[in-house]
Chains A and B, each alone.
Chain A
Amino acid sequence: MHGFLLNVLLALVWTMAVGKFTFPQLVLGFLLGFVVVTIVEPLWGKPSYALRIGRALRLAGFFLRELILSSLRIAYDVLTPQLHAQPRIIAVPLDAQTDTEITLLANFLTLPPGTLSLDVSVDKRVLYVHAMYVDHRDQFIREVKRGMEARLLEALR
């Protein structure tokens, strides 16, 4: 995250150095900054910046896919006469630890239709999720942990 802020800052510095605040210059500055941060970050003992950006992009792709698939599922359920929803409120144990991680996970889970995070327990160990299409409780928990949570933590850490 800090790497990304540094990257944006470097892009702004580049436009100032060139003296032209235009969109192409900003993009060029961003690309140059990307190279700089990629070289510099490992010196601070952090995992590769390029790798983390790649993971973040993969997370975004996964998230978009989920959003579209689950929207279509709800649309199908609304349009067909029979109701297929099997809603449950499920306690999902959390691997995410910091407030940032939990907040992001809860938000990412709430956005696609079909799942809605209701609350986090005080000790930050369990996230309560209202899910509409769940055949089996344990299967749902496994899907969340392997899919959304694993990818999110991978991108953040």
Chain B
Amino acid sequence: MIVLVTGLLAFSGALLMLIAAVGLLRMPDFYTRMQAAAKAGTLGILLIVAATGITLGSISALLHAFLASLFFLLTAPVAAHLLGRAAYLSGIRPWVLEDELAGRYHPATHELRSSNAPTASAPGIDRVEETLS
């Protein structure tokens, strides 16, 4: 019974990671690719770690599995978020229907405004749109 459950967990985890890898090829731009690769994989890893913990069965193995999942949940979004921001700042155009972030970074300081209202402290907004387009 337990073998069946853990087998199912590990299998669906591996399947999800395979799908994430295929998604890396199929998605249209950097941002969507990263979403597919970095995060459809998250659930896959969690499932495999859970299966390992249950298979080993001891309390310390379960605690380790829990800790591993926790650290993964803590670190994965930070990495994804930083990659996304870095990509946007280095001028990779997102394939999107609407982009409300366009032109809101200060070109020199990368200071981010909350609206498109022009302010005195952001003289180079036009330049940012030039470099991004």
Contact = CB atoms under 8 A, between A and B. Distances in A.
Interface of A: 23, 67-68, 71, 74-75, 77-79, 83, 85-91, 106-108, 110-114, 116-123, 125-126, 128, 130, 132, 137
Interface stretch (B1-9, B106-114, B123-131): B106-114
Chain B interface size, under 10 / 10 to 19 / 20 to 34 / 35 or more: 35 or more
21 contacts: A71-B16, A74-B23, A74-B35, A74-B40, A78-B22, A78-B23, A85-B32, A87-B32, A107-B81, A108-B77, A110-B77, A110-B81, A113-B40, A114-B39, A116-B80, A119-B85, A120-B112, A125-B114, A130-B31, A132-B35, A137-B98
A130 B73 CA distance: 19
A143 B35 CA distance: 20
Given A67-B42, A78-B26, A110-B80, A118 B96 contact: no
A154 to B, nearest CB: 20
A89 B99 contact: yes
Given A83-B26, A110-B80, A121-B112, A75 B96 contact: no
Residue among B39, B74, B76, B115 with the highest chain A CB neighbour number at 10 A: B39
Contacts of B28: 83, 85
Contacts of B95: 87
A157 to B, nearest CB: 22
A112 B100 contact: no
Interface of B: 16, 19-20, 22-23, 26-29, 31-32, 34-36, 39-40, 42-43, 59, 73-74, 76-78, 80-81, 84-85, 88, 94-102, 104, 111-115
A106 to B, nearest CB: 7
B77 A118 contact: no
